[in-house]
């Protein structure tokens, strides 16, 4: 166990979490090719014996300039082939995985069965750091590297189902009513549904921007047909230093922002349902 | 020669350059997210520099190791993505599109040229940039280093010297 | 045969000023179109970009040592890959005056291959201004 949970952090006994991911993006490892993924898997195959393959994710950066970080009209995504894919190393229960590509290493937990409980950030961080250390050692032994992290990310995905007999509008009220209560129009009433995307700048001790907390909510339908509101909070930004310590520092800081953001954005009725204890 | 695919999305509905969960795509239960159908706005604002810049970045993206037979490294995809993001955040709508030149270490140099001078922004890797402005003063060229810890000065130099 | 260049523990040539590459000598830089070129519509010209004078990730900017080639009966354009590739020459004295090192790198492909080490962004523009065209690259005006 690394450090314990911050004492003043909001805590929930039954949060509506369905997935948590923590990880790091780094400079593309020169010379890293598909066969190296097999080498990387070897030390993990007992704990994560299952494999899946997916196309590599493009790089992503939180940056800060005069203009906002988007421009309407054109979105730019560049992919080049051939390139080593992204591979999932998955545990037998399919509830935890490592994601590896030539510029990413992530650890995910996901809720598979109803009884699955979130293992808590501290344990996920333990798994991530030990796995990342193993990954780094394998890369180095293969004569590759160095690994230079440039972004880190903590993501919490929450799914809130519409209760039987209720509707999206009411659920949205329960979730966000303290912020959205004034959105009702005199002649049309409350909105049928709501989606939002909020971005907050994270800053270091000197006030320099280092990343963002991004909170998004939108209505959706699960594969089982259940209508839900999905609330996703992501803290993404630069590690305090380009090494494992810098990654861990940001992940801890990002987690605090995510949890505090979750507690602030959601309403007291739902906090009761989620067994808020702090 | 490796092939290259590019996807450019002209999207009238607001879309963030960095959608949430870019790093995370492993939910086991796919979620259908309903998005409202909207009419396209009648006025679509496009910056003049974006398309030619995309074309220039595409042109150098496929360059592999030793592309020049001088030992240069392959142009790095993460550098190209970062360069695009930098430009999005510093270019005025009527800014002149830069020339993108590959460097020997896999980075790139963005270059602008006008009668007032030349600007060169070197991107060696994400977040590692340096910039020089070569200003014409009374027939002489003066080299002015541009601060890159924040991007405000870069935006100002472009705004003042390199508009279409 | 020139004196052997210095090498590190792994056998890799390290940056050095080779004593048999004289200050009065010239080195040749290959200019590879279109990517080394900067089209300038306002000035109605296409010139060589300063980016053409950058070091590779392995270290050093690749050049040909012209006097050694001439002494071996080879003309300046001998190692240019094809007709589209251009070339500029720069005097070694000018490079060393900037604090750069000019040495011999026979591992780089042929016995007349050299390298220039220490190039930063500020040097590239200066090198570009000092460079004299030996042959224009395709598209260069």
A59 contacts in B (CB within 8 Å)? 77-78, 81-82, 126
Domain span including residue C109: 26-135
For residue B23, give the nearest of A64, A153, A220 by CB distance.
A153
The answer to whether position C69 is within a domain reads: yes
Instruction: Please indicate whether, in this complex, the C-beta atoms of A74 and B126 are within 8 angstroms of each other.
Output: no
Instruction: Please indicate whether, in this complex, the C-beta atoms of B22 and A78 are within 8 angstroms of each other.
Output: no
Instruction: Please indicate whether, in this complex, the C-beta atoms of A27 and B22 are within 8 angstroms of each other.
Output: no
Per DSSP, A276 falls in state: B
Residues B115 and A127: their CA atoms lie apart, in Å, by 57
Instruction: Please indicate whether, in this complex, the C-beta atoms of B71 and C56 are within 8 angstroms of each other.
Output: yes
Instruction: Please indicate whether, in this complex, the C-beta atoms of B2 and A110 are within 8 angstroms of each other.
Output: no
Instruction: Please indicate whether, in this complex, the C-beta atoms of C54 and B103 are within 8 angstroms of each other.
Output: yes
Split into its structural domains, chain C has a count of 1
For residue B126, give the nearest of A27, A64, A230 by CB distance.
A27
Cβ C93 vs Cβ C23: under 8 Å: yes
C27-C58-A103 Cα angle (round to 5): 145
pLDDT of residue A63: 93
Tens of pLDDT along chain C (141 residues) come to 899 999 999 999 999 999 999 999 999 999 999 999 999 988 899 999 999 999 998 889 999 999 999 999 999 999 999 999 999 999 999 999 999 999 999 997 799 999 999 999 999 999 999 999 999 999 999
A99 contacts in B (CB within 8 Å)? 26
Distance from CA of A250 to the nearest CA of B (A): 15
Residues of chain B whose pLDDT is less than 50? 1-28
- Window 12-51 of B: residues touching C by CB (8 A cutoff) are none
Q: Which residues contact A181 (CB under 8 A, 6 or more apart)?
A: A173
Token pair of B130 as six digits: 């340096």
Distance from CA of B19 to the nearest CA of C (A): 32
Cβ B108 vs Cβ C121: under 8 Å: no
pLDDT of residue A163: 94
B136 Cβ under 8 Å from any chain C Cβ: no
pLDDT of residue B17: 36
**Cα separation of the two ends of chain B:** 35
Token pair of C47 as six digits: 């010139």
Per DSSP, A27 falls in state: S
Helix (H) or strand (E) holding B86: helix B77-90
Residues A219 and A159: their CA atoms lie apart, in Å, by 10
Distance from CA of C55 to the nearest CA of B (A): 5
B135 contacts in C (CB within 8 Å)? none
Strands A196-203 and B128-137: unpaired
Please state the separation of Cα C40 from the chain's center in Å: 24
B57 Cβ under 8 Å from any chain C Cβ: no
Torsion angle, alpha carbons of B149, B153, B158, B159, to 10: 140
Residues A77 and A53: their CA atoms lie apart, in Å, by 20
* Chains with ≥3 CB–CB distances under 8 Å to B: A, C
pLDDT tens-digit profile of A187-227?
A: 999 899 899 999 999 999 999 999 999 999 999 988 888 99
Residues of chain A whose pLDDT is less than 50? 1-2, 71-76, 81
Q: Among all residues of chain B, which has the CA nearest to that of C63?
A: B70
CA proximity to A266, closest of A189, A211, A196: A196
The answer to whether position C127 is within a domain reads: yes
The answer to whether position C73 is within a domain reads: yes
Instruction: Please indicate whether, in this complex, the C-beta atoms of B78 and A236 are within 8 angstroms of each other.
Output: no
Instruction: Please give the ipTM for the structure prediction.
Output: 0.94
């Amino acid at each position: 166990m690394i450090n314990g949970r911050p004492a003043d952090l909001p805590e929930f006994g039954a949060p509506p979490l369905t997935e948590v991911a923590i990880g790091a993006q780094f400079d593309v490892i020169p010379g890293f090719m598909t066969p190296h993924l097999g080498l990387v898997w070897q030390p993990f195959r007992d704990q994560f014996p299952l494999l899946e393959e997916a196309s590599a994710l493009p790089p992503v950066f939180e940056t800060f300039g005069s203009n906002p970080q988007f421009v309407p009209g054109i979105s730019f995504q560049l992919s080049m082939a051939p390139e080593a894919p992204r591979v999932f190393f998955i545990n037998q229960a399919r509830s935890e995985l490592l994601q590896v590509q030539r510029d990413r290493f992530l650890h995910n937990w996901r809720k598979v069965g109803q009884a699955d409980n979130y293992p808590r950030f501290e344990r996920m961080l333990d798994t991530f750091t030990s796995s990342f250390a193993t990954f780094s050692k394998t890369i180095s032994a293969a004569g590759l590297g160095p690994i230079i992290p440039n972004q880190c990310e903590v993501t919490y995905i929450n799914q809130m189902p519409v209760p039987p007999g209720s509707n999206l509008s009411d659920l949205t009220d329960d979730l966000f009513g303290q912020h959205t209560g004034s959105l009702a129009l005199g002649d049309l009433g409350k909105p049928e549904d709501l989606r939002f995307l909020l971005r907050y700048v994270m800053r270091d001790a000197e006030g320099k921007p280092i990343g963002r907390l991004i909170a998004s909510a939108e209505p959706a339908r699960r594969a089982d047909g259940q209508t839900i509101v999905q609330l996703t909070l992501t803290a993404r930004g630069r590690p305090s230093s380009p090494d494992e310590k810098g990654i861990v520092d940001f992940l801890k800081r990002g987690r605090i922002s995510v949890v505090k953001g979750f507690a602030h954005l959601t309403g007291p009725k739902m906090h009761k349902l989620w067994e808020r204890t702090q | 020669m490796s092939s290259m695919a590019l996807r450019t999305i002209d999207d009238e509905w607001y879309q963030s350059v960095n959608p949430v969960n870019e790093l995370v795509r492993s939910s086991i239960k796919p979620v259908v997210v309903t998005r409202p159908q909207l009419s396209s706005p009648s006025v679509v604002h496009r910056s003049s520099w974006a398309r030619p810049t995309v074309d220039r970045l595409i042109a150098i993206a496929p360059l592999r190791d030793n592309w020049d037979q001088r030992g240069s490294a392959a142009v790095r995809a993460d550098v190209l993505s970062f360069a695009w993001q930098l430009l999005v955040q510093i270019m005025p709508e009527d800014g002149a599109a830069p020339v993108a030149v590959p460097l020997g270490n896999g980075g790139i140099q963005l270059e602008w040229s006008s009668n007032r001078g030349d600007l060169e922004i070197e991107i060696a890797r994400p977040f590692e940039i340096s910039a020089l402005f070569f200003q014409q003063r009374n027939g002489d060229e003066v080299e002015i280093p541009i601060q890159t810890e924040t991007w405000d000065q870069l935006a100002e130099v472009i705004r003042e010297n390199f508009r279409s | 045969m020139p004196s052997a260049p210095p090498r590190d523990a792994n056998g890799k040539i390290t940056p050095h000023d080779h004593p048999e590459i004289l200050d009065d000598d010239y080195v040749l830089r290959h200019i590879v179109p279109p990517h080394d070129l900067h089209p300038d519509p306002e000035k109605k010209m296409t010139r060589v970009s300063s980016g053409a004078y950058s070091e590779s990730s392995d270290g050093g900017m690749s050049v040909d040592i012209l006097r050694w080639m001439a002494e071996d009966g080879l003309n300046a354009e001998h190692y240019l890959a094809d007709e589209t590739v251009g070339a500029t020459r720069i005097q070694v004295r000018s490079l060393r005056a900037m604090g750069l090192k000019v040495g011999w790198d026979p591992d780089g492909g042929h016995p007349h291959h050299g390298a220039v080490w220490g190039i930063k962004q500020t040097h590239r523009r200066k090198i570009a201004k000092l460079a004299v065209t030996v042959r224009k690259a395709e598209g260069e005006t």
